[in-house]
Amino acid sequence: MNYSWSANHSILNLKKAPVSNHMLSAQAVHFLKVFFTSSFVLFMLFGAYNAYALIEANKTLKSSGEKISANFSRSVDDIKNLDPEKAAVSLRENTAEMKRVTGALQGSNAIGIMNVLGRVIPTFRDAGVLLSSVTSLNLNFLKFAEATSDLKQNGFKNFQSNGALFLASMTNVRTAIKNIIANAQTVKNTTANLKTVSSYFATIDDAIGGKYLAHSADLYRADTFLGDLLAFFGSDGDRHILFLFQNPAEIRPGGGFIGSYADITIAGGQMKNIDVRDIYDPDGWFLDKVIPPYQLQTVSENWGARDANWFFDFPTSAKTVVNFLEASKIYSEKGITFDGAVAVNIPVIKTMLDATGPIPLPEYKLVIDSNNFLTEVQREVEAGKDKAAGQPKKILKVLTPLLLEKMKGLDADAQRAFIKELGERIAKKDIMFYAKNTNLASYIDSANVGGAVYELPQSFMGTYLAVVDANVAGGKTDALIAQSVNATINVDTAGSILTDLVITREHKGGNEKDPWWNTENKNFVQVLVNPDSQLVSMKGNTIKKIVPTFNYESNGYSANADLAAIDGSRIAVPNLNAWTMKEFGKTAFATWFNTPAGKTGTLTLRYHTDNTALAPLESGSKYTFVYERQSGVQTALNVNITAPVGFVWKESGTPNYSYTNEDPDGRVTFDLQLQQQ
């Protein structure tokens, strides 16, 4: 063993061992204290900066969110009002606002901070997703507004001459709807987690939830509707649509008398042909023998398409017209069927003439405009040279293509004015749509543009009312009838309702140049009410006995199922010269109510509606009033509703609530709420 090391060195003293090189000096400790303190301060300053940036971002988002939300809301309302151009203005403002917000957030580095924090805190990641999703939603809704505007401005022209462009416009609308559905759902899902973080997110959440998702079912229906519509219009084979020209001067339950119609052939997205005909043409080749409505049996031995709009429910009327036409040899021998129908009353033609201006008809030495259309056309039909030649409706065949050609040339301002007026005509039921396709029919019904009778919900507490006129051998006098309906409704504490109804009809004819305006207005009137109503009294009606002289059964006539169901429910009320019937889930009180030229007639009736099966009324109970206007009939409506004893209506603060409208839409609905005094 070598002990040389210990011999040459001093003895090792462990108590005084030297300091190792790996242990920190006092200077190092001081340095570390300064370093960590500085780092902490810097971290706090960085955090404070980030917090400040996020606070400033929140302020920016708050003011921006209010603007964006307001523009979203306005744009939805504008689209609903058929004004996509105005909606696009609000959405472009949103685009500019979102760019400003993004720039502000990038300038303050808030976006970068949220991206970094989003790696560990999901809320900040969601915030970034939301900003992107709201921007996409706005962009797609802007595309929807622009595509809708293009369809609105150019659709009719392209439908006449460029089917590819027409289909492309519809496809663009559908694509935008699909994207809106996806974007809106993403935004809603994200804001659900963020609305407590910032008022911006809460505001966007309200806007999306209140406007878009509230209409999500409508968006899905619109997507399905457009898909089926594209399949229909894009078909390579011929498809046929009926345009029924209804003349409200001779009113029928489903609208004006169908004197003429057009068979429009569609293929490849555009109109291939339009064939305007007198309704008596196919009726002359309709060989089936069908029992007509009871009220028509003294003036028409056989039922045909001319009288088939006898039902207040337009889908039922349209289906019956289509069935009769398809059974006529004019179409059955060619295998032609109709996919749907559009009914238009004379005010729609007047609206078109307002847009195009006067149209010269040199062949008739006439210039047709919106003011003289009905008078001059009716005169040609009733007493013109074409009637003597066996073509009384030829003037419409001459006028229609000229009118459509002028419609193609409308400028942008005239188109906007026409579309707006067209929307009003649809609201008044002067235009109604019918489709055989169940998806299309469902969408038409949900949009309330098909003229279907309102279906009362179960446990309905309220009043349903419709007054339905039918001119039977009364000339063209409905054009000169001014009608008003006044309803006084009393609700009792058990929920039962007593209604006094006054229908007034003033005949302003008598001194007209043409005789068809001056004859007596012969009107079969039906008052449709709640299904559990009982007629109490009726005054002012006309006594008329119908005695058919033709035996339908022995002559092999068949019955229409829809008509037979209504006629089979008819019960006479002899002491009141009236009938009660059941139709479309309602009770109908029916009678004759004729008015001589130059005179005014008043029909009054009282009826009781038994709602005692419902729960007793209490404070907060809801009452609903529903009125449905007949297509083609302008009727002033006045309603006064009295609350049960001890209650007032919340909406008026008194026991009485009044509603007046000189020209109501096709359907008027409002709710009232009871408050105990």
pLDDT in tens, 558-591: 999 999 999 999 999 999 999 999 999 999 999 9
Which strands sit side by side in the sheet containing 622-628, from one edge to the other?
Answer: 571-573, 578-583, 586-592, 523-529, 462-471, 622-628, 667-676, 647-649
Q: Evaluate if residue 122 carries a pLDDT over 50.
A: no
pLDDT at 18 over 70: no
Whole-prediction pTM:
0.83
Give pLDDT tens digits for 206-218: 666 555 556 677 7
Instruction: Could you please state the CATH topology (level 3) that the domain comprising 239-446 is classified under.
Output: Aminopeptidase (3.40.630)
* Mean pLDDT for the stretch of residues 99-120: 49
Average pLDDT over residues 50-70: 52
**Residues paired with 342 in a beta bridge:** 243, 433
Sequence-distant (6+) residues with CB within 8 A of 667 are 448, 454, 626, 627, 628, 629
Tell me the domain boundaries of the chain.
27-233, 239-446, 462-542+577-676
Pairing of strands 431-435, 497-507: unpaired
pLDDT in tens, 534-548: 999 999 999 988 777
What is the average pLDDT across 194-214? 60
Say what the pLDDT of residue 46 is: 36
Residue 330 has pLDDT above 90, yes or no: yes
What lies within 8 Å, CB to CB, of 481 at 6+ separation is 505, 506, 507, 508, 521, 595
Specify whether the CB–CB gap between 659 and 638 falls below 8 A: yes
**Region 600-617 average pLDDT:** 87
Whether domain 462-542+577-676 has CATH 3.30.300.30: the reply is no
Pairing between β-strand 578-583 and β-strand 571-573 as defined by DSSP bridges: antiparallel
Q: Which residue carries 């003349």 as its tokens?
A: 247
In percent, the amount of the chain with pLDDT more than 70 equals 81
Confidence band (pLDDT; 50, 70, 90) for 360?
very high
- Strand stretches in 311-388, DSSP E: 340-345, 359-361, 366-368
Place of tokens 């109503």: 533
Please give the pLDDT value at position 192: 62
Alpha carbons 73 and 190: distance in angstroms, whole number: 19
The DSSP string of 608-671 is EE--TTSPPP-TT-EEEEEEEPPTT--EEEEEEEEPPTTEEETTTSSSEEEEEESS--SEEEEE
Mean pLDDT of 344-351: 94
The pair of structure tokens assigned to 393 is: 């409706």
> Quick one: pLDDT at residue 3?
42
User: Which tens digits make up the pLDDT trace of 398-407?
Assistant: 999 999 989 9
Question: What is the band of 626 on the pLDDT scale with cuts at 50, 70, 90?
Answer: very high
